Amino acid sequence: MLEYLHIKNMALIQECEISFGTGLNILTGETGAGKSMVIGSLQFALGGRVGKDFLRRGEKIASVEALFTADTQALRQRLEENGIAPEEDGTILVARTLSETGKSVCRINGTAVTVGMLKEIAEELIDIYGQHEHQSLLNPSKHIRLLDRFCGPGFAEAMNGYRTGYNALKDVEKQLSGLLGDEAQREQRIDILQFQKEEIEGAALRIGEEEELLEQKKRLGSMEKLIKLTRESLSQLYDGKDNLPSACDQLGDALAKLQEAVEYDSNLQGFVDALADAYAAVEDMARELKREADQQEADPQALEEIEERLQTIYKLKRKYGGSVETVLAFYDKITEELHFLANSNEIVAELLAQKQAEQKKLTEAANTLTEIRKKTAAAVTAQIESALRDMEMKDAKFYIQIEEKNEWTVDGKDKVEFLFSANAGEGLKPLAKIASGGEMSRVMLALKTVLVDGDEIGTFIFDEIDTGVSGRTARKVGEKMHLLGKKRQILCITHLPQIAAMANRHFLIEKRSLHGETTTNVMPLETDGAVQEVARLMGGNDVTETTLAAARELMMETEG
């Protein structure tokens, strides 16, 4: 529902704020007062196109803000798809500005969006119908979804079953498409996969091998320095150097002197024991080190082999993945694909049989959807024709045409379109080809009245759709619009008193000139003001006691 509209510097509107209510909101005013300007501003806020001449003269920027309350599944999905978090209270604030350069900025709940995103979301908020405006019910692609909303809970279960089968069939067809493609391309693919498989198999990769090889490479690459350092250490520990005693010799000499000292001081025995242990440990370690040093030997051949192995690993990693694990996973994948392609004839036969089975199941599921739709269409058609008769279209015919398509779609195999004939003997035509404005107005109201429960949009706007109707017919149109207002919020611009008298909330749009400037203002009318305006619509600007009395009577009939 549209709660609030703020317009600033749009054409003749300097600034105005409108708080709309539930039910039927009527907007009236003299010709040229700017009634359609209000709707035009709202359309701009919701993504419509306007020229920079729509900016009020002398101003640099215009803005429109529209506050809605709405919380439908379709709207939540649209918001989430566009990265906009819904408010907890279900409010949606749409704001758009227009600069003197003609550029505009759009925001939804403070988040900047493109015009395309704004239009997508606006489709779930409001439906605008005017004599030259696009209307959702005139779009045949939407007719099937509208009809489906009336088909009851059993239809949803049938649709879920159908779509499961539809997705299964598409999967089989995708696999077949890959197998039944160009023979030469398939053979080329097999050759490539076979080469890749043999290349990886020949490498016999092992997880952890690369790390082990790097450690060995590091050791062999520094062997000369390793031998030098090891032998120098061994010399200092065990052999001695340049007439200098080794560490073992010095520890042995120190131990001997300390043992002699114990004879004079027994308290030194602990030091003797510790030094003896140290001497024995160093001597054992020196002997082990000597054995290790004797085995150390430069091996250029081994180093070259390690380098070649590492290059093999690096090459495969570059071609098939960033790690050995990834290369092995790639190997598993191509092995499976190779098996699939190599056995394609057998697999094709299996898939063709599966496709036939899926098509049979899908045909049955689609037939179930068609049966439910046709039964529902008959009931909806009867209700719409009844509504048309209520609006003085006694000979009108409405028909929901359901034809079979040549292929399955996500919604089944049905093509649904609403057709209409206004007079006896006339052929049924698509809604978009209805020529008369009056006929179109009544058809739209009949459709909206009947289909309102299948449409989640909360606000309908009718911009002078009463064109071409008057008298008793106008009264019937007003009654239908009032009835529709019991289920949805309606905004209607009208020049007919019969419709204005039905208002739950009445707004007067008037043009004023002051100090050489012309502005359009919007005022909510209380009871007396509404009576005055309905009287003006009945008798022109010359409002008399007679027209006032007639207006009160007309409005009392509505209340009754």
Give the pLDDT confidence score for residue 216 in this predicted structure. Answer: 78
The predicted-structure confidence for 377-419, as pLDDT tens digits, reads as follows 999 999 989 988 888 888 889 999 999 998 899 999 999 999 9
Give the 3-state secondary structure of residue 343: coil
- Judged against a pLDDT cut of 80, whether residue 262 lies above it is answered with yes
How many whole angstroms separate alpha carbon 460 and alpha carbon 129? Answer: 8
The predicted-structure confidence for 116-158, as pLDDT tens digits, reads as follows 999 888 888 887 765 444 455 677 888 898 888 888 878 989 9
Give the 3-state secondary structure of residue 359: helix
How many whole angstroms separate alpha carbon 65 and alpha carbon 106? Answer: 10
Give the 3-state secondary structure of residue 459: strand
Write 54-61 long-range contacts (CB < 8 A, 24+): 54/10, 54/11, 54/98, 55/9, 55/10, 55/11, 55/98, 55/99, 55/100, 56/9, 56/10, 56/11, 56/12, 56/13, 56/14, 59/9, 59/100, 60/99, 60/100, 61/9, 61/97, 61/98, 61/99, 61/100
How many whole angstroms separate alpha carbon 286 and alpha carbon 247? Answer: 10
**Token pair in block for residue 113:** 């969006």
Backbone angles phi, psi at 68, to 5 degrees: -115, 155
Domain locations along the chain: 1-125+457-560
- Judged against a pLDDT cut of 80, whether residue 17 lies above it is answered with yes
CB of 13 closer than 8 Å to CB of 518: no
Q: How far is CA 305 from CA 199, 201, 235, 344, 479, in A?
A: 19, 19, 33, 42, 95
436 band by pLDDT with thresholds 50, 70 and 90: low
Enumerate the β-bridge partners of residue 430.
419
How many whole angstroms separate alpha carbon 42 and alpha carbon 36? Answer: 10
**Token pair in block for residue 350:** 């299996």
Instruction: Return the sign of the alpha-carbon dihedral for residues 318, 322, 325, 331.
Output: negative
Of 9-18, 27-36, 71-80, 237-246, the range with the lowest mean pLDDT is: 237-246
Contacts of 18 (CB under 8 A, 6+ apart): 4, 5, 6, 7, 38, 507, 522, 524
Supply the DSSP symbol for 55: B
Give the pLDDT confidence score for residue 362 in this predicted structure. Answer: 94
Residue indicated by tokens 């409005």: 555
The stretch 148-175 carries a mean pLDDT of 90
CATH code for residues 1-125+457-560: 3.40.50.300
To the nearest whole number, what is the mean pLDDT of the chain? 84
- Judged against a pLDDT cut of 80, whether residue 291 lies above it is answered with no
Give the pLDDT confidence score for residue 84 in this predicted structure. Answer: 87
The predicted-structure confidence for 507-529, as pLDDT tens digits, reads as follows 999 888 877 788 888 999 999 99
Percent of the chain with pLDDT over 90: 29
Kind and range of the H or E run holding 505: strand 505-514
Q: How far is CA 214 from CA 306, 327, 554, in A?
A: 8, 19, 98
**CB burial class (10 A; 0-12, 13-18, 19+) of residue 201?**
exposed
Contacts of 503 (CB under 8 A, 6+ apart): 24, 25, 26, 530
Of 203-207, 339-343, 366-370, the range with the lowest mean pLDDT is: 339-343
The predicted-structure confidence for 199-248, as pLDDT tens digits, reads as follows 999 989 899 988 888 887 777 766 667 666 777 776 777 776 667 777 77
188 band by pLDDT with thresholds 50, 70 and 90: confident
How many whole angstroms separate alpha carbon 480 and alpha carbon 502? Answer: 10
What is the bridge-based pairing of β-strands 489-493 and 412-421? Answer: unpaired
